[in-house]
Amino acid sequence: MPEFENPPEEEIRALLERVRTIAVVGLSPNPGRPSHRVATALKGFGYRIVPVRPAVATVLGETAYPNLRAIPFAVDLVDVFRAPEHVGPVVEDAIAIGAPALWLQEGVVNLQAAQRARDARLFVVMDRCVYQDYLAFFGARPRAR
């Protein structure tokens, strides 16, 4: 399998500009967890956050769904905070719901799953933090609506 390369910086920036709704897979209700901190910041920047986590009703005041297929509306980006060995089924769900983009957070590296998503025409970013990229591109200001 060829080495994975993330899209160019300008394409990642354009993705963050056009995205409105982000499904955060593995969003923890625990404020001390990275997924909670990142989702809180993204919500503060103006994104609609959709928690994807079984066994909880809400996270960050938003209805939580047990998996991507249970979300009754379209999402623009699937942001994954799961261990690499659990990414394959998330990718299959992202493909099934027609998600246009997949973001595997920093430390989440699964080359086979990333390639499967690309083969299905998803825009894929892997092993980067969406929050850190947002700050690098736009600073701490909320996004334009």
Does the pLDDT value for residue 144 go beyond 90? Answer: no
Residue among 31, 70, 127, 136 nearest 39 (CA):
31
* 100 CA to centre of own chain: 11
- Encode pLDDT of 1-38 as tens digits: 568 999 999 999 999 999 999 999 999 999 999 999 99
Q: Is the pLDDT of residue 43 over 80?
A: yes
Higher per-residue confidence, 1 vs 52 = 52
CATH fold label, 15-138 = Rossmann fold (3.40.50)
Secondary structure of the chain as H, E, C letters:
CCCCCCCCHHHHHHHHHHCCEEEEECCCCCCCCHHHHHHHHHHHCCCEEEEECCCCCEECCEECECCHHHCCCCCCEEEECCCHHHHHHHHHHHHHCCCCEEEECCCCCCHHHHHHHHHCCCEEEECCCHHHHHHHHHCCCCCCC
pLDDT, position 141: 87
Q: Where are the domains of the chain?
A: 15-138
State the average pLDDT over residues 47-66: 97
Sorted by sequence, the CB contacts under 8 Å of residue 73 that are 6+ apart come out as 21
pLDDT at 3: 82
104-130 pLDDT per residue, tens: 999 999 999 999 999 999 999 999 999
CA 86 to chain centre: 14
Q: For 82-97, what is each residue's pLDDT tens digit? A: 999 999 999 999 999 9
pLDDT given for residue 143 in this prediction:
79
CB 22 within 8 A of CB 47: yes
Residue tagged 């001390």 (tokens): 32
What per-residue confidence (pLDDT) applies to 99? 98
Q: Could you tell me which residues come within 8 angstroms of residue 32 by beta carbon, excluding any fewer than 6 positions away?
A: none
